[in-house]
Amino acid sequence: MFEIWLSEQSHDPLYLQLYTQIRQQIRSGAIANGARMPSVRTLQMQLHISKTPIETAYQMLSSEGYVVSKPRSGLYAINAFKPEHALVQAPITHNIDAALRPSSQRMSSAPHVIDFNPTSLDVQTFPFRIWRKMLNEALENSAELLCQYGDPQGEYAFRAVIADYIRQARGVVCSPEQIIIGSGISYSMSILTKLLAEYPHIAMEEPGFPKVRDHFGISRFAITPISIGNKGLSIDELEKSSAQLVYVTPSHQFPTGSVIPYAERAQLLNWASERKAYIIEDDYDGEFRYFSKPIPSLQSLDHQGRVIYIGTFSKAFTPALRMNYMVLPMTLIRKMESLQALLSSPSRIEQWAMQSFIEQGHWFRHIRRMRNTYRKKHSTLMEKISAHFADQVEITGHSAGLHIQISVKTQLKAEQLVQMAADHGVRIYDMRGAWMDQNADAAGDPKVYLGFGGISEAEMESGLLRLKKAWSFL
């Protein structure tokens, strides 16, 4: 049992008292290097307090490398000032899109890296039990169909459920026949590059999503970069181009976070109508808007059949599902008949499970929970950045989504700021891969990006403290 003394007279909250005392005992050797830490429940019974301050204290200790988690075993103390600190295992890194990769892979020797990854989600809120139930029900209720191939466009009943959902949530007007279920943005883009081959000139956001840009580049489309401002894509630049297609992320532009307002949306739709062009609307982070209700989709405002709408379950649910959906105008659906061989929908079992998940109301409850979770994290990150950096940084692109953009008032380059953070065990991102012109983002103050979906508030605080130390020149 630990020697822990909590005082109700202390001005420090319980989690901070716990954190401070445990950290001191590890540093002093009172808690031996490699010693197994008491479980949350054990400490809860010993100290007669709720589990929340204990979990918070453990998270802070973990984020600073004083404890390390071993799968199916528990937490273990780490004294980095003793030679036994080799017990710490290097964090496992995963390949992520080049746009999200830090400028340098050289990280500090800190035992725990705090990663403000814009693609990470909150694992604690994933409905494991319910999703397992949906999968089991899908297997039980559709046993006679398991040995048959499904509709390559996606299960019809599932498409009908999606059509109803996106009409309610995003104002998208479509029939099930217009929906193509896919296995991610790459799958959808591979279809569109074939479907739209007679429109060989596409305008892309600058900066923008490199994976989409690369698909069109490999397919030999001419690509014109269109600059992004506070109101999203520059309509003036688009009108001056000879593009016949445009790819946009209007609800939360990637990576700047800007949102296209109603007036500019109308101008964009007018451009498409007059030019007989198509707009590819990627509803990136469309579910998460923090200062007002989500803006209806571009497709909901389109009366000429010029918008191709793409949605996904990756951001609101899990990228592990590898499932998205695309809504084509009826003119393109008729054209798709000659390209049926390109279609290959994802797992029927997971389609059935997601269909039930939505029909039984679990999806709507999950979305509400995720919005509340991310709204709190978003607010906390904004407050902590303001508290630690005051007017030395400017926060932008923060009205929606799971990451923010900050401009740092310094003469240094973004990649230097990223590396300085890395040297202190913090991963932030400069999104250099999002630019077609690598020098285009050199104007003005350097910009870096911080995601908040996959980190706890304790990690957030610890990470920003490290970042403040890394950027001590400010």
What ranges do the domains of the chain cover?
Answer: 14-87, 98-121+365-470, 130-360
CA-to-CA dists, residue 294 to 36, 63, 169, 230, 280, angstroms: 46, 34, 9, 17, 19
Q: Check the CA dihedral 9-10-14-17 and report its sign.
A: negative
- CATH number, span 14-87: 1.10.10.10
pLDDT score, position 315: 85
CB atoms within 10 A of CB 459: 21
Question: Quick one: which of 232, 236, 240 has its CA closest to 282?
Answer: 232
**Cβ 448 vs Cβ 464: under 8 Å:** no
Q: What architecture is domain 130-360?
A: 3-Layer(aba) Sandwich (3.40)
Predicted pLDDT of residue 253: 86
3-state helix, strand, coil in the chain (%, to 5): 45, 15, 40
SS3 77: strand
**pLDDT (0 to 100) of residue 256:** 86
Q: What's the angle, vertex CA 352, arms to CA 347 and CA 355, rounded to 5?
A: 125
CATH architecture of 98-121+365-470: Alpha-Beta Complex (3.90)
- Say what the pLDDT of residue 228 is: 92
Is residue 324 within 8 A of residue 282, CB to CB? The reply is no
- CA proximity to 282, closest of 236, 304, 305, 314: 314
* Of 158, 176, 127, 128, residue with least CA distance to 348: 158
DSSP symbol at 339:
G
Residue 238's alpha-carbon distances to 270, 277, 305, 455, in angstroms, are: 12, 12, 19, 38
Strand, helix or coil for residue 179: strand
One pLDDT digit (tens) per residue for the chain, 474 residues: 567 877 766 667 888 888 888 988 888 888 888 889 998 888 888 888 888 888 888 877 876 678 888 877 888 888 755 433 333 333 333 333 445 544 444 444 444 789 999 888 988 889 999 999 999 999 988 878 888 889 999 999 999 999 999 999 899 999 999 999 999 999 999 999 999 999 999 999 999 998 899 999 999 999 999 999 888 999 999 999 999 999 999 988 888 888 888 889 999 999 999 999 999 999 977 677 766 666 779 999 999 999 999 999 988 898 888 899 999 999 999 899 888 888 999 999 999 999 999 999 999 999 999 989 999 999 999 999 999 998 899 998 666 788 999 999 999 999 999 999 999 999 999 988 888 876 665 668 899 999 999 999 889 999 999 999 999 887
